[in-house]
Structure 1
Amino acid sequence: MRSKSKPPDSSKNTLAWYTPPIWLGMTLSGWLRMLAYNRFSVDPRHIPWAVLITLTAFLGVPFNILHDLRWGGRIRRTEIEQPPLFVIGHWRSGTTWLHELLTLDESHTYPNTYQCFLPSRFLLTEHFDTHSLGFIFDAMLPKKRPFDNVEVGWTRPQEDEFALCNLGIPSPYQKIAFPRRDPCPEYFDLSGIEPERLRKWEDAFVRFLKQLTLRDPRRIVLKSPTHTFRIKTLLNLFPDAKFVHIVRDPYVTFYSTLRMWKSLYEATGLQRAGDTDDLEPYVFRNFIHMHERLDEARPLLGASRFHELRYEDLVRDPVGQMGALYGQLQLGDMERIIPNLERYLSGSADYKTNSYEIAPASREKIRQQWGHIIDRYGY
């Protein structure tokens, strides 16, 4: 299956040889478990990164201990009083953009990149690292994501699945590090794991959210495509949680997702992706699996706790679509965020998404796999 796409500015984003892997923030125990689970299958050219990750994880142990001594009791006593708001949807469907729009509301907070990079100790180290050592940390990040030119930064909203990874919790995102394997697929929807493993996942997730709440008690807005698979588990933890699901043209989503995984494998993987013939079936399979789990969860959600919108409609009329979202989920008067929203939209007016020219045969193959979902959303 082939398509033509207009790539991002490669002069700024083809930086895989020095872009630091997200795994640099892992706990030592989590890093060693991930290595062991994946049979230490680090390719020779990535061994220097593996050594550096091991060293930084080892050096981080005393800071993690000090963090727990200083903050552990307060974290345990913290209550998450505001039910979280989850942005869900398939990868490359607009979840990042919607997440950023929702964080313009001053009654909301969110996990940022630093907190997801170092979730084991950010209460202790974030201020010092991002201020006193800000110039060093800024040099560690590329200016934009390698697959879509979206700006990145330590204080920008980030996907909390990366925090779980760096806490050493099993995650299907381990595939980013080991693309020739398919680690932890059961952690997409969590339905098939043993009760003890599920409890550990829940405890780690809730503890991370308590840390965020301790830093800022406002409603937490979370975004991760993986949460689309897990709504039932999330409702067990937060019965009053709210969800907003964004969808995008599945034909574009398919090719954009392929591009994303390939870029992440290259930028932060610890082994070469090699033959990626299995990537297309992986994307086809996860898309269907995600919508199956979403459909199972829909009856559990009342009208004021679930809203659905299309990416294309959000692009066409962001103010109107955000107004409908706020009304459906009863998030309060949206008028208070319009000035922030207008400034944000003005500042990002020049952003261009990647475009894809999809051959008729390729479109037919996608329709054969996802036709019922394509028809449901009017594509």
Structure 2
Amino acid sequence: MNPQQFLDAATEATGLTDFGDDALFGGDGWRTGLAVLLESIEREANLHTMGEMVVQGELTQYLINRLRIVEHHRRHPEIRERDITPPLVIIGQARTGTTMLFDLLAQDPDHRVPQTWEVDQPLPPPRTETYLTDERIAAADATFALVDSVIPEFRAVHQLGAQLAQECVRITASHFVSAIFPTQYQVPTYLDWLIHTAQEQGHLAGAYTWHRRFLELLQSEAPGTRWLIKTPIHCWTLPELMAEYPGALLVQTHRDPATVMASTTSLLATLRRLGTDDIDTPTLAREFEEIILDGLDRSAVARLDGTVPAAQVVDVRFGDLMRDPIPAVRQVYDRFGWPLTPDVEQAMRTFLETHPREGGGHSYTFAATGLTLSAVRERTARYREHFQVPIEQH
């Protein structure tokens, strides 16, 4: 797990050497992130053979993508002349309906989403005329066969698909300052670095700069009206998000934090089977307790102190979204003054019919987390009271 061997492999694969250490690409914090990640994987991840293969291939590919993105930007500085229209950003925590909302809003042609296939293989830049037929779509779908073979029940927990909208953590992964890594692997040292040191040293801000560079590339030959993006980590990093995209419009989904902890812990335990057999649910819950629960509290603080202007955000409750998604979606359109046309609404209803809701095979209990319910309630009291989040029975 020597960083240099990964750098050398990416350089050999591309013939490129410029990884973009300057401020234009978010600085060189990615090198620290890569080093901390690899050390954490080596000491803590306890990978099985399949997991070792996945790590080797995945991290090398992120570096290959980074080299190619930097090179493309150097050759085509004009792609930065088209600004990123203030994006619509879903910032709810995991297991609060964000994926369903993301996929439904993506049915609106005015919303340009980063699809999985183009995030995985961003170069050459996707083109409008071949966006639905690009050969990378089939290649991306083929990779999910590996997931199905190792964790066949995962699709019951979370949707997979090359043409489904992809989260921002997969974009910032090629900057190596991303929550995707502790989500996939047992790397508590890296997670601690991410939510403390990386923020203190400005590396999270650098990750959002890289995020912008990535979107600039994707929209260069396949533009849209506005970007639609999402990931739960935005709850933790709202100051950095709003600094990079000050005009961003936010949608925050809300659910009982105790249920969020229980469901997220179960999801992560399932996902991590792709890399290891060493899975202990209470340990996993303790790993993510701070980033989830403190992230919720931080989101309340950001609303109270004006980091997120009130006019730029709408709140959607999980219960409302699950009862009837379309009225919940209409909340977003009404809040920002957009028409929800009959054609778009029908496209959303068709998506719901053709993509069964995740969770049908997903059972979980709060007791399995090993956390104390009263402590979770106390820690998230400010969040629950501010957003009037109903408590669920546990």
TM-score range, shorter chain: 0.7 to 0.9
Deviation at 1:188, TM superposition (A): 4.2
Deviation at 1:313, TM superposition (A): 0.5
Question: What residue ranges of structure 2 are gaps of 5+ in the alignment?
Answer: 1-5, 12-18, 20-30
Instruction: Provide the TM-score with structure 2 as the length reference.
Output: 0.73
Deviation at 1:266, TM superposition (A): 1.5
Indicate how the Cα distance of structure 1 residues 368 and 54 shifts in structure 2: closer, same or farther if over 3 A, else same.
closer
Indicate how the Cα distance of structure 1 residues 107 and 350 shifts in structure 2: closer, same or farther if over 3 A, else same.
closer
- Taking the aligned partners of 1:291 and 1:229, their CA distance within structure 2 comes to 7
Indicate how the Cα distance of structure 1 residues 173 and 63 shifts in structure 2: closer, same or farther if over 3 A, else same.
closer
- Taking the aligned partners of 1:273 and 1:44, their CA distance within structure 2 comes to 7
Q: Is the 8 A contact 2:175 2:207 kept in 1?
A: no
Q: Which residue of 2 aligns with 1:73?
A: 75
Q: Which residue of 2 aligns with 1:169?
A: 176
Give per-residue Cα distances to partners, 1:21-80, cap 9 Å, x unaligned: xx9xx9678796365442633767635653565467668977875665556433663323
Q: Which residue of 2 aligns with 1:377?
A: 389
Q: Secondary structure at the match of 2:314?
A: strand
Q: Which residue of 1 aligns with 2:289?
A: 284
Q: Which residue of 2 aligns with 1:318?
A: 325
Letter in 2 for 1:38: S
Q: Which residue of 1 aligns with 2:217?
A: 211
Indicate how the Cα distance of structure 1 residues 181 and 302 shifts in structure 2: closer, same or farther if over 3 A, else same.
closer
Letter in 1 for 2:172: L
- Taking the aligned partners of 1:302 and 1:59, their CA distance within structure 2 comes to 38
Q: Is the 8 A contact 2:45 2:186 kept in 1?
A: no
Of 363-372 and 173-182, more deviation after overlay is shown by: 363-372
Give per-residue Cα distances to partners, 1:125-150, cap 9 Å, x unaligned: 9934335x577446445397717443
Q: 1:367 pairs with 377, 382, 386, which one?
A: 377
Whose helix fraction is larger, Structure 1's or Structure 2's?
2
- Taking the aligned partners of 1:272 and 1:158, their CA distance within structure 2 comes to 26
Q: 1:261 pairs with 257, 268, 292, which one?
A: 268
Letter in 2 for 1:370: T
Give per-residue Cα distances to partners, 1:83-118, cap 9 Å, x unaligned: 111101111111111111110111001111123334
- Taking the aligned partners of 2:71 and 2:167, their CA distance within structure 1 comes to 27
Deviation at 1:240, TM superposition (A): 0.8
Q: In percent, how many aligned pairs have the same letter?
A: 19
Q: Secondary structure at the match of 2:320?
A: helix
Q: Secondary structure at the match of 1:38?
A: helix
- Taking the aligned partners of 1:73 and 1:49, their CA distance within structure 2 comes to 36
Letter in 2 for 1:263: T
Of 102-111 and 142-151, more deviation after overlay is shown by: 142-151
Instruction: Provide the TM-score with structure 1 as the length reference.
Output: 0.76
Written as runs of structure 1 = structure 2, the 5 A alignment for 1:23-102 is 33=35, 36-38=38-40, 40-41=42-43, 46-47=48-49, 49-50=51-52, 53-54=55-56, 69=71, 72-74=74-76, 77-78=79-80, 79-102=82-105
Question: What residue ranges of structure 1 are gaps of 5+ in the alignment?
Answer: 1-22
Letter in 2 for 1:202: Y
Written as runs of structure 1 = structure 2, the 5 A alignment for 1:168-187 is 168-179=175-186, 181-187=188-194
Deviation at 1:342, TM superposition (A): 1.8
Cα RMSD between the aligned structures? 3.8
Of 89-98 and 285-294, more deviation after overlay is shown by: 285-294
Indicate how the Cα distance of structure 1 residues 314 and 253 shifts in structure 2: closer, same or farther if over 3 A, else same.
same
* 1:151 to 2:159 alignment: yes
Q: Is the 8 A contact 1:80 1:217 kept in 2?
A: no
Q: Is the 8 A contact 1:35 1:41 kept in 2?
A: no
- Taking the aligned partners of 1:313 and 1:60, their CA distance within structure 2 comes to 38
- Taking the aligned partners of 2:34 and 2:357, their CA distance within structure 1 comes to 43
Q: Secondary structure at the match of 2:264?
A: helix
- Taking the aligned partners of 2:254 and 2:38, their CA distance within structure 1 comes to 37
